[in-house]
Each structure stands twice: as structure tokens, then as C-alpha cells.
Amino acid sequence: MEEKILKLKEQLENELSKVQDAAELESIRVAYLGKKGCITELLKGLKDLSDEEKKSFGQKVNLLKGEVSAKIDDYKVKLAEAEVLKEIEAMPEFDMSIPANLERGSYHPITLVQRECEKVFKSLGFVVEDYSEIVSEYECFEALNIPKHHPARDMQDTYYLENGQLLKTHTSAAQNAIYRKYKDALINEGKPIKAIFPGRCFRNEATDACHENTFFQMEGVMVGKDINISNLIFFMKTMLSEVFQRDIKVRLRPGFFPFVEPGFELDINCLICGGEGCPSCKQSGWLELCPCGMIHPEVLKAGGIDPEEYTGFAFGLGLTRLAMMKYGVKDIRDLNSGVLKSMEQFTDGE
Ligand code: PHE
């Protein structure tokens, strides 16, 4: 019996040393440890032995069983390692001379339009500010002369967070912070506040080709001594003519926003028909582009600025709208779709 065990061990070593792959290893496992395997047979043979022999031999066979199964497991690991090494060796060496894959992403049309607007406004002495997407109710409404329960709040269906803050519904929500940041330079050094602040806005809208719950605006404010509406018209006309690379006509119509007085809707002449009237401009020759107005005295006050001494204008340019016009995007939802191919077509892979 002892001899049998020794022999089996030797035989196993021998067989294992020749194993090439997992399938061969598995057949060895079955041959030794399977239901009809030789070790299982040895255990079955125990029943013909005396009690004394059963005990000592049984122990040895069980030990052998443990050893064999551990050896086979070891081999399994070794085989797997050898497999990986083989794969690594088969890999081609890294070749720096192979040309790169030139398929690159492109800037988003909104990013492109935003940058163009920023460039123009910077050249006119405006600073570009960034602001949080999560703001307080105060910043989004109260500081803008929209008290709680005022019907004007219904104009912007708002996403509230559990902590009482909200996703900003318009970039105007940053106005208060901007006034506070620059008011000292205005009051003490006489430096007018000239800032633009682009940003993502959110409203609980049912989406269709013209409406999205997530869109971009660019707010602009200028506050100083004797700032008036003709300053606003000049800056808007200059910026838009630059962005569209042609002379843009603008007109103002009255518009209501609680944070401006007077308030306007700024229209531009339709770029598709040139002003003659077409389906895009509903035959009017004009496109609504940018609400704006003179900053309401209450809003200046909330920002720490004396409305008796200073005046200013504010506008809320629809960047998403502008990008759609510039690149001829017909469905606003394309802009948030994340489909790179559809983005590229507007930007020539720029
Ligand atoms: N915040 C306004 C809106 O999103 C637009 C606006 C900005 C109007 C600045 C006037 C002045 O509806």
C-alpha cells in the first residue's frame, strides 16, 4: 500500500510535468480525484482492510488526496501565468512611428459661440466671471426683486434641492454676487462694473425642438455713472455683428422682468431671410434674441450700490439660441445629446 502511494505520487509528478494546457490538467484531475479516479478507488478499497489498517492507511490516502489536489491547483496557477506571458510576448512592440489616430473630438457649438462672445466683450473691457450652478433662492429671486409668492416666479419653473437651494434658472442669479464683488472699486475708485457671466441654466420644461430643461445663457451687466440704454444697444450691436461677421440690425420692444426697469426684448433682423420675412421669423423679419433692460433700483440696492448715484444695464443673452442660429441647429435637443457626430457637423471638427 505504501508503495502504491509513492508510485502514484511519482506518476503524478511525471504527468504534471508534461501538461500543456488547462484541458490536459483537467483530465489529470479527473483521473486522480474524479468519481472513478485512482485515489477514489484506493479509498473504496479500504473497506477490505482490517480496522487497524483502515485507520493508518485511510489517513495516508486522505493526505495524498489533499497533496494531489493542492499540486493540481498550483499547476493551474502556473499555467495561467504562462498563458499571460505568452500573450505579452506575442504583442507587437510599442512603435512610436505609427501615425496617431487622427479622429479627434470637436468643441461644442455652444462653447464656440461662448468663446466668440467672450472675446468681443473682453476687448470692450468686460471681465468674464464664472458662477455656481446651485444658488440660493435669495440670489435667484429675492435679490432680483422677485419676492416669495410673486407671480413672476411662475415664469421660471424651478428645480429645488432638498436643502432649499435650487438649480439656477437664469444667469441673473449671479448678479448680486457680482455687484458685491466689484462695488468697492466702483464706489471708491470710480471704476464702472463691466462683467459677463456665461452659465448653464435649468428649468422644468417639457422638451421639444425649441425647449430644453438645460440651456446656456450669458448675462452681462454694466454699472456706473450715467449708463443708459444707448450703451446697451451699442455693446449688443457690436458683439452680434462680430459673432455673425456682418452688420446686425437690432430693435427694442418692451418686455417685463422684475429686475429691470424699463425692460426690453432685443430683436435682431432675421439672418435667414435678411429681414424680408420667412417661416423662421414668422414672416416678421425679426428674431427675438436677448431680454435686457436698465437694472432695477431695488436690485442695485440689494447689491450694495446706491441707485441714486449709479445706473446700469443688464442683458441675458441666450447662448444656446445664438449657437442654434449661427450653426443652423434645428433641434435644441441635439445640443445635449452627446452624439459627437452630430456636433462635428456644425463645427467642421474645429
Ligand atoms: N434672466 C432673464 C431670463 O432668463 C433674462 C434677462 C436678463 C432679462 C437680464 C433682463 C435682464 O428670463
φ/ψ region of 122 (left if φ > 0, alpha if ψ in -120 to 50, else beta) reads alpha
**Residue with CA closest to ligand 1 atom 12:** 170
The pLDDT profile of the chain, 350 residues, written as one tens digit per residue, is: 778 888 888 888 888 888 888 888 889 989 988 888 888 888 888 888 888 888 888 888 888 889 889 989 998 898 889 889 988 888 888 778 877 776 667 788 899 999 999 999 999 999 999 999 999 999 999 999 999 988 888 888 999 999 999 999 999 999 999 999 999 999 999 999 999 999 999 999 888 888 899 999 999 999 999 999 999 999 989 988 988 888 889 999 999 999 999 999 999 988 878 888 888 788 999 988 899 999 999 999 999 999 999 999 999 999 998 888 888 888 888 888 877 777 766 655 44
Q: Which helix (H) or strand (E) holds 184?
A: helix 175-189
Residue with the smallest CA separation from ligand 1 atom 3 is 170
What is the C-alpha to C-alpha distance for residues 316 and 231, in angstroms, rounded to an integer? 15
* Probe residue for ligand 1, chosen from 172, 201, 259, 288 as the CB with the greatest number of ligand atoms within 8 Å: 172
Element (H, E) at 4: helix 2-18
Give distance in angstroms: CA of 172 to centre of ligand 1.
6
- Ligand 1 centroid from CA 258, angstroms: 9
170 lines ligand 1 (CB under 6 A): yes
Q: Which atom of ligand 1 is nearest to the CA of 156?
A: 12
- Crossing angle of helices 229-244 and 319-327, in 10° steps, is 40
Instruction: Please state, in angstroms and rounded to a whole number, the distance separating the CA atoms of residues 239 and 198.
Output: 15
220 Cβ closer than 6 Å to some ligand 1 atom: no
pLDDT score for 347: 58
- For ligand 1, atom 5: residue with the closest CA: 316
In angstroms, rounded to a whole number, what is the distance separating the alpha carbons of residues 166 and 320? 21
pLDDT score recorded for residue 189: 97
CA 105 to mean position of chain CA atoms: 15
Yes or no: say if 143 and 178 are a contact pair by the CB < 8 Å rule.
no
**CA dist., res. 224 & res. 220, Å (int):** 14
324 lines ligand 1 (CB under 6 A): no
> Would the pTM count as exceeding 0.85?
no
Name 214's bridge partners: 202
264, 253 Cβ separation under 8 angstroms = yes
* Grid coordinates belonging to 215: 440651456
Cα(237)–Cα(228) distance, integer angstroms: 15
Cα distances from 249 to residues 286, 294, 316, 317, in angstroms, run: 9, 20, 18, 16
Tell me if 292 CB under 6 Å of ligand 1.
yes
- What is the DSSP secondary structure assignment for residue 132, as one 8-state letter? -
Alpha helices in 190-314 (DSSP H): 229-244, 297-302
List, in sequence order, every residue forming a beta bridge with 198; answer none if it has no partner. 218
Tell me which residue has its CA closest to atom 9 in ligand 1: 315
Provide the pLDDT for residue 348: 55
Name the helix (H) or strand (E) containing 83.
helix 51-90
Residue 321 beta carbon below 6 angstroms from any ligand 1 atom: no
Give residue 239 CA to ligand 1 midpoint distance, Å. 18
Ligand 1 proximity of 172 Cβ (cutoff 6 Å): yes
For CA atoms 237, 240, 245, 249, give the dihedral sign: negative
Among the listed residues 280, 226, 281, 212, the one whose alpha carbon sits nearest the alpha carbon of residue 251? 281
Residue of 155, 157, 170 with the most ligand 1 atoms within 8 Å of its CB, for mutation? 170
Q: Are 251 and 267 in contact (CB under 8 A)?
A: yes
| Ligand 1 geometric centre to CA of 286 (Å) | 19
Largest Cα–Cα distance of the chain, in whole Å?
A: 116
**Cis before residue 198, ω within 30 degrees of 0?**
no
